[in-house]
Amino acid sequence: MNARLNAFASPVAGKVVGHLLSAGKAVEDTTLPPVTQELVKIRASQINGCGGCLDMHTKEAAAAGETALRLNLIAAWRESTVFTDAERAALELTEQGTRIADAAGGVPDGVWANAAQHYDDEQLLALASLIALINTFNRLNVILQQPAGGYRVGQFA
First to last CA, the chain: 25
pLDDT exceeds cutoff 90 at 36: yes
153 near 60, Cβ under 8 Å? yes
Is 151 domain-assigned? no
What is the per-residue pLDDT for 14? 86
Q: Above 90 in pLDDT, residue 5?
A: no
Q: Does the pLDDT of residue 1 top 80, yes or no?
A: no
Q: Is residue 63 part of a domain?
A: yes
Q: Is 90 exceeded by the pLDDT of residue 9?
A: no
Q: Is residue 132 part of a domain?
A: yes
Predicted confidence band of residue 45 (pLDDT cuts 50, 70, 90): very high
Q: Is residue 99 part of a domain?
A: yes
22: domain range?
Answer: 7-144
In 3D space, the residue among 58, 65, 127 whose CA is nearest the CA of residue 91 turns out to be: 127
Asked whether residue 116 is domain-assigned, the answer is yes
Total domain count, the chain = 1
How many CB atoms within 10 Å of residue 3? 13
Whether the pLDDT of residue 104 is over 90: the answer is: no
Produce one character per residue of 94-122: b if its CB has 16 or more CB atoms within 10 Å, e if not. bbbbbeeeeeeeebeeebbebbeebbeee
Tell me whether residue 1 is in a domain.
Answer: no
Q: What angle do CA 20, 21, 23 make, to 5 degrees?
A: 65
| Any domain includes 58 | yes
**Where residue 123 falls among pLDDT bands split at 50, 70, 90?**
very high
Identify the helix (H) or strand (E) that includes residue 21: helix 11-28
DSSP 67-132: -HHHHHHGGGGGG-SSS-HHHHHHHHHHHHHHTGGGSTTSS-HHHHHHHHTTS-HHHHHHHHHHHH
> Is 156 within the bounds of a domain?
no
Q: Are 37 and 28 in contact (CB under 8 A)?
A: yes
Task: Note the pLDDT of residue 103.
Answer: 78
Total-model pTM: 0.94
Contact 92, 111 (CB under 8 A): yes
Considering the chain, what is the average pLDDT of its residues?
A: 94
CATH number, domain containing residue 93: 1.20.1290.10
Q: How many CB atoms lie within 10 A of CB 143?
A: 10
